């Protein structure tokens, strides 16, 4: 979009400053922009857009939950008289791979970013013709058991719907307005997904590298839309009873003060999270060239492999295959609540199976990397909680922080994800979490980058 499309009251320099982080001192005065009539209009529109976009996001999450419940709870109970057989997820994961592969292969837009390269928010919002592919690929991925989360698709859907609204309202909308309102749409779409509107906003801003003058210009409409979206989510939950779809622990382990022992274990947890995360990324990125040979066939085979991994976990541990499947958002509270019921052997098996399914999902499916990283980190933490000098709360928080730092490569967001999840008790474990996050982050960049030989993301149907 050219500078000739700027509206009155907004200079071309202002538009460019809002569209991308400035390389040096800001070229424009953010106070002047905020006082401008165009910016105040964008602020009002962001508040208005927050309502329908959050409704769409809530509906998407509710639909995913309904399909999951029907396929993996209601249907097998109608078909089988006893417990659900361990092989049940295999055909559904095959269908998951088939539908996802067909969507990515034949619909415009590559169905969004590949999660194998981490959490991505750059490149601008998707255009209108790309939205169907993003929605369908995410719906099949999340509904039928692949190990990815809804945060990345929701961010893309929210930003794309906001951008589409701006284009429909004003075809020559300036880049500044498009950037601000698309960001606000993304904020609204994940307003309560991570448990707090602030945490969702922080995730987007750190991933996009927003800072300086741009931070002030983008954050205000985004936070406003996010707050309104949170209210809409709460209202729809009370009205429909379908759920609030917000990450929260039902039982929080008791807080403990930092000790020399827990600080020392934080070093080990950071290293363990970095090594496991590297292995997960290596699996996902190593398989990408094979996926590109035949997108539909290979994605279907990978779906079968994920289903077989979940089946093996149930046969060996005598626990439900659902712990291996899905993002882990719904399973995490129950895992923490019943942490004492798991042996170390079962926890190690669960971490290995979840990590393998996670890596396979990264290679070809569509979704976000946040929740599987949190779940895998929590499993590691629970397994380590019995070590001398360790306790459950800091162990879980350190595991989550280390895994998120490795998979997301966002150290500030990773620290917040680990500490805020524990509520008021999270304050007491913050020092250990910071150490684990820093160690994991540094080791991640010391290890060979598994993406260096992988084909990069492009917009062709066979890529991504």
Task: Please give the pLDDT value at position 328.
Answer: 92
Q: Evaluate if residue 244 carries a pLDDT over 80.
A: no
Q: What is d(CA 21, CA 18) in angstroms, rounded to the nearest whole number?
A: 7
Q: What is d(CA 17, CA 30) in angstroms, rounded to the nearest whole number?
A: 9
Q: Evaluate if residue 289 carries a pLDDT over 90.
A: yes
Q: What is d(CA 449, CA 282) in angstroms, rounded to the nearest whole number?
A: 9
What residue spans of 318-368 are helical by DSSP H? Answer: 331-337, 344-364
DSSP class of 9: T
Give the HSE-up count for residue 55: Cα atoms under 13 Å, Cβ half-sphere.
5
Q: Tally DSSP H helices, then E strands, for the chain.
A: 18, 0
Task: Please give the pLDDT value at position 21.
Answer: 38
Model confidence at 29, in pLDDT bands (50, 70, 90)? low
Element (H, E) at 270: helix 260-293
The dihedral through the CA atoms of 278, 119, 404, 363 has a sign that is: negative
Most confident of 223-237, 254-268, 352-366: 352-366
What residue spans of 170-259 are helical by DSSP H? Answer: 175-189, 197-208, 212-240
Backbone phi, psi, residue 368, to 5°? -105, 155
Express each pLDDT in 215-227 by its tens digit.
667 777 888 888 8
Contact 185, 177 (CB under 8 A): no
Residue 400's CB is within 10 A of a number of other CB atoms, namely 32
CA angle 246, 145, 194 (to 5 degrees): 15
Express each pLDDT in 102-119 by its tens digit.
999 999 888 888 898 887
Give the HSE-up count for residue 283: Cα atoms under 13 Å, Cβ half-sphere.
20
Q: What is the dihedral of CA 35, 156, 114, 100, to 10 degrees?
A: -170
Contact 337, 248 (CB under 8 A): no
User: How long is the chain?
Assistant: 464
More confidently predicted of 128 and 327: 327
| Average of per-residue pLDDT values in the chain | 85
**Beta-ladder partners of 368:** 149
Dmax over Cα atoms in the chain, in whole Å?
69
Q: Give the SS3 label for residue 149.
A: strand
More confidently predicted of 275 and 249: 275
Residue 203's nearest CA partner among 257, 264, 158 is 158
Express each pLDDT in 403-461 by its tens digit.
999 999 999 999 999 988 888 778 889 999 999 999 999 999 999 988 765 554 444 43
Task: Concatenate the DSSP letters of all residues of 84-130 into one string.
Answer: PPTTTHHHHHHHHHHHHHHHHHHSTTTTS--GGG-----S-PPPGGG
Model confidence at 121, in pLDDT bands (50, 70, 90)? low
Q: Give the SS3 label for residue 368.
A: strand
Q: Evaluate if residue 255 carries a pLDDT over 90.
A: no
Express each pLDDT in 62-115 by its tens digit.
999 999 999 999 999 989 888 899 999 999 999 999 999 999 999 988 888 889
User: Structure pTM?
Assistant: 0.87
| Percent residues over pLDDT 90 in the chain | 54
Please name the residues in contact with 400: beta carbons below 8 A apart, sequence gap of 6 or more. Answer: 373, 374, 377, 378, 381, 414, 417, 418, 421
> Residue 292 CA to chain centroid, in angstroms?
24
Contact 300, 105 (CB under 8 A): no
Q: What share of the chain is helix, strand, coil (3-state, %, to 5)?
A: 70, 0, 30
């Amino acid at each position: 979009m050219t500078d000739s499309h700027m509206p009155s009251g907004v200079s071309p320099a202002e538009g460019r400053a809002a569209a991308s982080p400035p390389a040096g001192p800001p070229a424009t005065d953010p106070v002047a922009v905020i006082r401008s009539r165009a910016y105040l209009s964008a602020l009002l529109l962001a508040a208005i857009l927050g309502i329908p976009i959050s409704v769409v996001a809530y509906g998407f999450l509710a639909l995913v939950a309904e399909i999951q419940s029907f396929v993996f709870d209601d249907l097998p109970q109608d078909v089988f008289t006893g417990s659900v057989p361990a092989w049940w997820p295999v055909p559904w994961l095959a269908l998951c791979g088939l539908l996802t592969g067909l969507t990515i292969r034949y619909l415009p837009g590559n169905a969004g970013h590949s999660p194998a390269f981490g959490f991505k928010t750059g490149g601008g919002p998707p255009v209108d013709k790309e939205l169907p592919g993003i929605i369908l690929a995410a719906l099949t991925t999340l509904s039928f058991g692949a190990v990815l989360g809804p945060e990345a698709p929701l961010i893309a859907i929210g930003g794309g719907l906001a951008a589409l609204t701006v284009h429909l309202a004003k075809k020559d909308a300036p880049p500044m307005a498009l950037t601000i309102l698309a960001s606000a749409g993304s904020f609204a779409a994940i307003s309560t997904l991570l448990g707090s509107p602030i945490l969702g906003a922080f995730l987007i801003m750190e991933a996009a590298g927003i800072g300086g003058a741009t931070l002030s210009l983008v954050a205000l409409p985004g936070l406003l839309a996010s707050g309104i979206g949170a209210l809409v989510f709460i209202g729809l939950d009370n009205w429909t009873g379908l759920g609030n779809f917000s990450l929260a622990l039902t039982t929080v382990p008791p807080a403990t003060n930092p000790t020399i022992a827990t600080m020392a274990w934080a070093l080990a947890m950071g290293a363990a999270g970095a090594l496991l995360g590297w292995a997960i990324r290596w699996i996902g990125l190593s398989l990408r060239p094979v996926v590109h040979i035949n997108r539909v066939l290979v994605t279907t085979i990978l779906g079968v492999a994920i289903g077989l991994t979940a089946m093996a976990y149930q046969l060996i541990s005598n626990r439900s295959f659902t712990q291996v499947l899905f993002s882990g958002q719904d399973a995490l509270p129950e895992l923490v609540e019943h942490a004492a019921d798991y042996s170390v052997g079962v926890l190690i098996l669960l971490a290995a199976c979840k990590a393998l399914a996670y890596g396979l999902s990264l290679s070809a499916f569509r979704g976000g990397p946040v929740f599987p990283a949190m779940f895998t980190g929590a499993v590691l933490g629970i397994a380590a909680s019995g070590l001398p000098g360790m306790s459950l709360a800091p162990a879980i928080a350190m595991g989550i922080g280390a895994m998120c730092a490795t998979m997301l490569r966002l150290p500030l967001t990773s620290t917040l994800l680990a500490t805020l999840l524990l509520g008021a008790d999270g304050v007491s474990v913050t020092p250990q979490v910071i150490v684990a996050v820093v160690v994991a982050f540094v080791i991640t960049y010391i290890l060979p980058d598994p993406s260096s030989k992988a084909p990069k993301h492009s917009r062709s149907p066979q890529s991504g």
